[in-house]
Structure 1
Amino acid sequence: MPGTTAFWRDPFLPHVESRRACHSRACYKPDSHPTFSIGAVDAGGSIFTGSKDGKVALGIGSLVLVPAGCVHACNPLPGTPWSYQMLHLDAQWLQAHAPALDGDTAAVLHCSPLYAQFCAMNALLFSTASAAEKDAALLAFLGACTGARADLLPSERKPLPQQLAPVLEALQAQPSASLRQLAEAAGLSPYQLIRAFRATTGMTPHAFQLNAHVNRARSGLQAGTALAQLAHELGFADQSHLQRVFKAHAGITPGRYRGQDS
């Protein structure tokens, strides 16, 4: 059975986006999002990396809470498809409405009632219900999550070393800065920078740059920017290069993400 993917967005609820994937075999590179993400496994199995417990096996009914900026990956078991749902919430909106959920490390929950509530809430998002009904169901689910999240251990995220602060500033000012430029900003050799950056963020500087480009591409695609223009603005060699990198991180082509491909 071929895999299918569906996205839900609503201009009246700009703080939330949802995705449903069925019989997927897509694999993802480790990445991070500017949003707070909640995933649920509907069929098959998966291995999640990014929590304080290292690699965690996920099965039907497992829920994963991933804070904004947390490097993670979630891929199906070898040779088998899986089905899942994924919710992305604006980080500032979450802070205002469910601040207790916004920890520093990903968490895996195995709670059947909570999974059932997530499925019902997400089905409502994809339905023709009013925006007010959808927002109320979302807030009710987040309230239930808060109670479950309170039982988890506190974060173990490492603080950002002061030496790497200029590197992140350089990446903000010049997203496509070279490794040499970033190493000079930190006063380190390129090899020392790679080791220190990966130990802190979970990514090499290059992987961090690609991930940031993909997140910018998501925003551009939602805004209707042409793919060729995005490739040029983000510093990719061409449109095909952006398509390959986007699919490696998002598990879907830019066109399907925007909803233009069948």
Structure 2
Amino acid sequence: MPRTNTRESRQQQAFWRDPALPFVESRRACHSRACYRAHSHPTVSIGAVDAGRSVFSGAGEQPIALHPGMLVFVPASRVHACNPAPDASWSYQMLHLDAAWLQATRAEYATTLADEPIRILDEPGLYRQFCRLNDVLFSTADSAEKETALIEFIGDQDLTHLAGIHLPLPDNVSHERLQPALRRLAKTPGADVPLGELASLAGMSRYQLIRAFRRSTGLTPHAWQLNQRINLAREHMRAGADIATVAQDLGFADQAHLQRVFKAHTGVTPGRYRA
């Protein structure tokens, strides 16, 4: 009998999606050593550490060490990364919720916050509730039962009384001046827009543009565009698009280029994510 690569067999990734519930996606990873670039996504994410040691960055200047049983709530569009500690692996769960759907759901019974903070919680009861929710999502239960479990979990979690990590707000003047450049990148995600053109649109020097971009978004202009492309790639692949077509449409040199950047942002290859 052929031997199985022990490291490969131990590392497991599983995604759950349901066309009937397009506003939610869940993920489980076991014994993962994959590392992520700093990134953001348009969804609200809730992560739980199941085992191992990991480090969260994006909540202030210093990374925060996480241990099993901790949860991290990250608002939409907030730059962050969570990676295993050096020379270690970890197991985790990650829930992604459509931001508009979540806001509308909360608005049915509570006041929503305009600028919610990142929250890192060590609450055993909350962790157990989150695990139960994910068990339902990954089960053979029907869509109605899964939606019920999700809404109940969200409704049970009144986080407004819990401390969060508020990050400094971007300078309003610089943020407004960046809008033409941001619109240019959003309108043509597959185009490589020269830095000089973006600087001209913002009325800044290239150096000023890079600094303003980092203060406002947490990323450089190039990193912001790559992040946008990966978010769009995920959206297109969830809709069934071919990986080679996605690479071409979003301005990647080829499918291999998409694969490298996609894995750096998500921890898995496009083929594994699409499957």
Give the TM-score, by structure 2 length.
0.89
Match for 2:89 among 73, 81, 94?
81
* C-alpha distance in structure 2 between counterparts of 1:153 and 1:5, whole Å: 29
Q: How does 1:1-262 map to 2 (within 5 A)?
A: 1=7, 2-52=10-60, 54-98=62-106, 100=112, 103-146=115-158, 148-153=159-164, 155-159=166-170, 160=172, 161-175=175-189, 176=191, 177-259=193-275
Q: Secondary structure at the match of 1:170?
A: helix
C-alpha distance after superposition, 1:86-116 (max 9, x if no partner): 0001111001012537744321111000000
Contact 1:18–1:87, Cα closer than 8 Å, also in 2:
yes
Q: Which letter maps to 2:169?
A: K
Task: Give percent identity, aligned residues only.
Answer: 55
Compared CA separation, residues 196 and 76, structure 1 to 2 (3 A): same
Q: Deviations over 1:149-186 (max 9, x none)?
A: 43224744414522112221221222332211111101
Secondary structure of 1:51 counterpart: coil
Q: 2:257 is paired with a residue of what secondary structure? A: helix
Tell me how far apart the structure 1 counterparts of residues 258 and 248 of structure 2 sit (CA, whole Å). Answer: 9
Report if the CA contact (8 A) 2:262-2:269 is conserved. Answer: yes
CA drift at 1:77: 0.4
Residue 239 of structure 2 aligns to which amino acid in structure 1? Answer: A
Alpha-carbon offset, residue 255 of structure 1: 0.2
Contact 1:70/1:105, CA 8 A, preserved across alignment: no
Distance (Å, rounded) in 1 between the aligned partners of 2:55 and 2:160: 20
Equivalent position SS for 1:138: helix
Partner deviation per Cα, 1:225-251 (whole Å, 9 max, x = no partner): 111111111111111101100000000
Query: Does the CA-based 8 Å contact 1:50-1:105 persist in structure 2?
Result: no
SS at the partner of 1:36? strand
- 1:98 is paired with a residue whose SS is helix
Task: Compute the displacement of 1:52 (Å).
Answer: 4.3
Q: Is the 8 A contact 2:70 2:121 kept in 1?
A: yes
Per-residue deviation at 1:129?
1.2
Distance 1:30 1:87, change over 3 A: same
> Is the partner of 1:206 in helix, strand or coil?
helix
Aligned equivalents of 2:117, 2:209: Cα separation in 1: 23
Unaligned runs of 5+ in 1: none
Aligned residues: 258
5+ long unaligned stretches in structure 2? 1-6
CA shift for structure 1 position 216: 0.5
d(CA) in 2 for partners of 1:44 and 1:256? 23
Amino acid at match of 1:138: L
Distance 1:113 1:226 in 2: 42
Amino acid at match of 1:190: R
SS of 2:63's partner is: strand
**One-letter amino acid of the counterpart of residue 163, structure 1:** R
